[in-house]
Amino acid sequence: MTSTTDELLEYRSVEKKKLKITMLITGVVMIIEVIGGLIANSLALISDAGHMFTHFFALAISFGAILYADSPGYSRRTFGFYRIEILAALFNSVFLFIVTIGILYAGIKRIFNPVPVLGFEMFIIALVGLVVNLISALILQTASRENLNIKAAFFHMLADTVSSVAIVIGAIVIYFTKWNIIDPILSIGISILIFRWGWGLLRDSVNILMESTPRGLTTDDVSAALTSQIPQIEEITDLHIWEITSKMYSMTAHIKLKPGINADEEKEILLKIKRIVDERFDIEHTTIELD
């Protein structure tokens, strides 16, 4: 039976490499967008640069969280520091909301007081940002499927990829029509997009911290699988399943066996229970009390 903890440690090393590359790319493009936004007088570009800064900040937090999560636990934290990753994801979601408010305010203000925007310069900078965001999102895509902390960083990059597409299109329209009001409208659209993904991230982070049953997994499913594959089980009570960090599940249960089962059979049943929940539901940490 493969150890989930060992797999996570190996997996984290891959995540760290991807985060380093993405942080470097994001930092460079953030500076380019700030300069380009000031030159083109584009609020959308400057807003996207601010969004980029949140990306860089999120990536830095994610990277630091993974480093800290690798630290060994001690007597008061027997599961180690894996929850640091979830706390980082929670912090990122709250930070997203703050950025959303700032962009929304600036966009509404400029709608009532539009200013000229250099469409061609805006287009070039937005196009560079789009290409870089696509590369960064692809780098983090695989890791984001398994880790909520990396998912936070991936959503940051994905949100900015979508906003970059909008800015590229908006820049083309502004260049040919001189409709400068499109620029603040785009910035408001970016803020709404950030809010939506930030809310989903906040919800998932809180669910883990509240030790809710992992998404897509129910105690009824686990109970049904065990009783159907192990006929010696008479009743399962006090079944609890929770997530320590992304893809690291724990379970406790009180299982009543049918009469006439000896000690050797109990050992075999216990091993079978652990194997079923590990192979089918990815639950490695189990505490089972047999009656």
The CA distances from residue 285 to 55, 64, 77, 241, in Å, are 33, 25, 15, 10
d(CA 166, CA 46): 14
- Per-residue confidence (pLDDT) for residue 191, from 0 to 100: 80
What average pLDDT does range 184-212 have in this prediction? 82
Lowest mean pLDDT among 7-16, 88-97, 199-208, 209-218: 7-16
Contacts of 216 (CB under 8 A, 6+ apart): none
pLDDT one-digit tens code per residue, 130-182: 888 788 777 777 655 555 556 666 766 776 677 778 888 888 999 899 888 89
- Per-residue confidence (pLDDT) for residue 276, from 0 to 100: 92
- Per-residue confidence (pLDDT) for residue 143, from 0 to 100: 56
Is the domain defined by 219-290 classed in CATH 3.90.1150.10? Answer: no
Three-state DSSP at 234 gives strand
- Per-residue confidence (pLDDT) for residue 254, from 0 to 100: 92
The CA distances from residue 104 to 51, 125, 152, 284, in Å, are 12, 22, 21, 45
d(CA 30, CA 16): 21
Percent with pLDDT over 90 in the chain = 6
Which structure tokens are listed for 193? 């997009």
Classified by CATH at the fold level, domain 4-209 comes out as Alpha-lytic protease prodomain-like (1.20.1510)
Which structure tokens are listed for 35? 């300069």
Cβ atoms < 10 Å from Cβ of 4: 17
Residue 238 is given by DSSP the state E
Q: Which residue pairs from 134-141 have beta carbons closer than 8 angstroms and sit at least 24 positions apart in sequence? A: 134/161, 135/25, 136/22, 136/25, 136/26, 137/161, 139/18, 139/21, 139/22, 140/18, 140/19, 140/22
- Per-residue confidence (pLDDT) for residue 162, from 0 to 100: 75
d(CA 44, CA 33): 10
- Per-residue confidence (pLDDT) for residue 1, from 0 to 100: 41
pLDDT one-digit tens code per residue, 50-86: 767 767 776 776 677 667 655 655 556 656 666 777 7
- Per-residue confidence (pLDDT) for residue 172, from 0 to 100: 92
Residue 146 is given by DSSP the state T
**Global confidence as pTM:** 0.64
Q: Has residue 8 got a pLDDT over 50?
A: no
- Per-residue confidence (pLDDT) for residue 9, from 0 to 100: 47
* Closest alpha carbon to 159 in 190, 119, 117, 118: 190
pLDDT one-digit tens code per residue, 103-127: 888 888 888 887 888 888 889 888 8
Domain-by-domain residue ranges, the chain?
A: 4-209, 219-290
- Per-residue confidence (pLDDT) for residue 156, from 0 to 100: 65
Which structure tokens are listed for 147? 């880790």
Task: Please state whether beta strands 233-245 and 248-257 pair in parallel, antiparallel, or not at all (unpaired).
Answer: antiparallel
Residue 212 binned pLDDT confidence (cut-offs 50, 70, 90) = confident
Residue 100 binned pLDDT confidence (cut-offs 50, 70, 90) = confident
Q: Has residue 19 got a pLDDT over 80?
A: no
